[in-house]
A and B are shown apart, each in its own frame.
Chain A
Amino acid sequence: MLGVVQPVEDVKQRLRPFGLFFERSLKDLIKGIRAHGDSPESLEKYLAEELSHCREEVNSLDMNLKSNAVLKLAYLEMYGFDMSWANFHILEVMSSTGMRNKRVGYLAASQSFNRDPDILILMTNLLQKDLKYSATGGNDTYKIGVALSGVSSFVTKDLAKDIVQDLLLMLNNSKPYIRKKTVVALFKVYLQYPESLRDTFDQFVLKLEDEDRSVVSATVSVICELSKQNPSIFIQLSPVLYEILVTIDNNWIIIRLLKLFTNLSKVEPKLKHKLLPKIVELMDSTSATSVLYESINCIVKGQMLSTDDFDVAMKCLKCLNEFCISQDPNLRYISCLLFYKIGKINPQFVEQFDELILHLLCDVDVSIRSKALELLNGITHDGNLKLIVSTLMKQFVNEEVVVIENYRNAATRDVPIVVPEDYKIKLVTTIIKLCSMNNFINIPDFKWYNTVLIDLVVVSSDLKDKTRLGSMIGEQIKSVMLRVPDLRNVTMTTIITILTMEKMNLSTVLKECVWCLGEYSKLIENGDALIQLLIRNAPHFNAETKVVLIPAILKLFGSWCNGPANQDLPSIKIVLNDMIDFLDTLTTSSSFEIQERSIEVSEILKLSLDAVEMQEQDNSDEGGLPLLLCEVIPGFFNSYELLPILAGTQRRLQEEGQISSVDLITPFLTQTELSNILKDYDEIQEDGLSHTDRLSDHDGKYRSESDLDDSVANDAGNAAAGDEVHDDLHFLEEQRRQEQLSNPFYLTEESEGTKATTNDLLSLDSNDSSKREDLTLIKLASENLTANAGKTGERKKRGKAKRAVVLADEVVIEPNPRADSTTLHQKVAALNKSDRGINLVTQSQLSSFDFSKKGDDRELDDAENEAELEKLRKKFAAQSLDTSNVSEPVEDQEEVIVIKKKKKSKKKKKKNEEDVPDESNTVQNE
């Protein structure tokens, strides 16, 4: 009985590996999965069941059952089931002697072990055993093969250290099969444990001369891969490799060698002389496209092509030209890439291939088009720009289709090409780049460019990257406006078209447009209508645009009032009221910049409104405009025409200025002058006069200015001082101009700081009668600067001391330095006071400066009890009474901090007021 059963069991056991039990079991699983495929729930349930079966089976003592379970797990692993929990069982299966089980084990290990390196520690011994070759063992070759495959998928650094010697021994195995596998396995070992490459390099590279071609091929492949990471160590092999290249006729190996030489040639340019003729020869002799491609690739990527190698370049490009028009999209794509690279080496190479590039632009594969786009700058010239741009523009509009031929029923159908968003964005940027390239050199006709820009606005409105595109287009519009004076009318029309465009949701383009409207407001006749339009549309503008809009409408208003068509007072009043109403809505904006500008402008406008009303009451017969409207407001903006300036000029001027012409060190006041000022402090306080050496020549005017200070302070509603205000504002304007002229940072036509080079760039119309006057003014200002030389030290010291004050606020200090600091406080405050008188224009800036310091200063005040300070505070109080009426209350204390910066920031501020986004200053001009 027993004797009968035993063989049956035995037979079953033996049959299992041959497929009976085992095959059915895996088949069952797969069939089960397919049967449950219709509903995810039932599939999930089924898989869970199967998994629990597997869990039981792997615990079985029967090695075949265990191996079977492991195989099923390996299958389930592809469905995303983690099997690392079974790693130990896998190890068991791997260590079984049967070839089948061992193989299942290694397969599972390849799938699973790379997630759990710890298990590898356990298997080092096993691996070393499996890698031992004994000539007697029947299947040892394959056992080793399986082990090597396994090792190469999950080797780690530690494992690599342990087995590298075993692998080295196998390099000289009698079987090419093992040598080949070992070579490739060593590659993984080297990657994990690079030190071993140094020790085994010689033995390894000997395999390049192996008698078996597969081994040579594998060795070349491995060296090729390794040389990607570190080419230099393989350069010594060049002669051997070259010999192989010359003698071998296997295309696979040739391709590998070419790749290898590509890597080597990158670090060893000398290789070029030897290799290039051989590669060119290869190109002539081979018929295989892949070899041809790799040859070109090797030449290009191996940096063997220098900018004057026209012959080789043309040879390559002609090949590529053929590839690029072939039917195979892959070949087209990669050839296009290479074409692109050659084009980058020297754009002249691709010049004659403009037809091809235009052809590629219309390729059905959008990624090929995208590469062709990048090549365009090589072939663009003024003759074909229009053609190229219109080709590109069409791609936005035309629904392109590909005709697909259906071979079965010989019918054709049209399949639309899906043009992805990214590509469209690239189209827009490319068009802009091509047109603006080399300072618009290729543009034959700016009217045409204007229409292109309008079209771009339309097409960009729907793209996701429209914020950036909008500002890019805006920049273009501004540049054209600025640099093509003859066509400003056309550009202005463009802007107004854009502005009035329906469904325009490219809000970022408006920023520059609105700026242009303001800056070139003289071109517009019916400014009132435009102002109304802007005000109507303003709620849709973004914050940046609103910032620009505020001064723009003021400019528009100024130009309109003084335009050729004399405006009557009532209509001016209507516009004024509209503007004031509009600006009032912005005064509560969350953006500081908008808030500040709207308040500034609205105050000016309120003054103007008063002036207009006055004029109406006073003399309705004369009909002239108030001075404020006809001179002051235009004067804000019309002093200079903005001109394009070479990029970087501003910085150069600043650098030069620092070195030579601008004295930043010399103080403005001598010691005695300073003490005089301090002495005069009380007097200043009484009559509200302030004093600087700078304006001492203008004493008379200066007084009137402080009167102005008062009159403004006494609120714009008080119209009694109307005319006086006009005069004063006029003076103020004049004074502002002077300051600009004396400001080394302000680019003027004849500023002393500018050198000959910049004069060329800045040449203004010389019919300006005020030029002479300006010149003298500059001189005057700079005389002052030099006259005050030698007072630097004092100034500097004060600067430092001031900082001490600031620091003192933050740190708790002992009485002594405190007393010190208060006297300084006093001095500085006094000086400050005097400065303030001059700087009516910059009041708002002062008030906006560094609010954070305010609190600290107050704390300081609170903390101080000394009598001296008390006195000082009274002075402060009186002083702030003086200034509190001026549109915004100004903290004196904070000015203590401001003072040093005042000079500089004031100028910056003014510039901002006048030409809002002054980037235009840096636009190139040649």
Chain B
Amino acid sequence: MGGVKTTTKQKIAFSVLFLCTLIVVLPVLFVLWAILKGGAPAINWQFLSTMPREGMREGGIYPAIIGTIYLVSLSVLFSLPIGLFAAIYLNEYAKDNLLTRLIRLAIVNLSGVSSVVYGLFGLALFVNFLKFGVSILSGALTLAIMNLPVIIIASTEALASVPFSFREVSLSLGASRWQTVRYSVLPNAIPGILTGAILSLARAAGETAPILFTVAAFYLPKLPKSIFDQAMALPYHLYIISTQIPNIKTEVRYGTALVLIGIVFSMNIFAVVIRAKFRKKKKW
């Protein structure tokens, strides 16, 4: 192998890798740019804070924003505690046997199931069987179920990254297993758990399929009053105005997309910031 040839090979390899990166990044940047350019003119206070008018061709998207916020916050109330406790059980208590390995495998697979499947599952279980109807509750529970695997996986990883010696010391000092989890493991895993939870929420905020059959209203002239009401939600609203409403101004569509992307994006940034902060502090 001659030296020249090696460096040439290296250059080619780098160029190919760089090209692949571009292929991944460029479309994203282009989409962002298009939405920003098309949507920015529509964004103003009135757009964010008033009801849609004229068959959604005019006015704002306030109820859709509120609906999405309700859905996301209610879903995290279900998914975070359950997911966290499941992760604690799997990582701290469960023996490593066939059953737990099967459970882990199932969780990993569930996280890859397409969201429309969760939507249909939510329709069958929450809307019809448990008779919650098409409601915020049904939608939030459906989103929670969809998020559970992701939260469990992220939390398990966060717990597993806490050094074994913390548990060892704590137990050797006479702490019970639960005290050990509570006082020496969990505090050090919280940032990782939060990051995972926020990322999964960001995903939930942007999904249409799970809320399609369980909560979403085509158009509601008023805000929901309880969790048993239907609600509008941003992704579904975007879908509606893009496909069902003829002659709508493009800037309304782009504006709605921009708000949705803005919410998802800021949640992601928030998660990244938490993680970066934690990395800096972590010294063991």
| A and B pair up | no
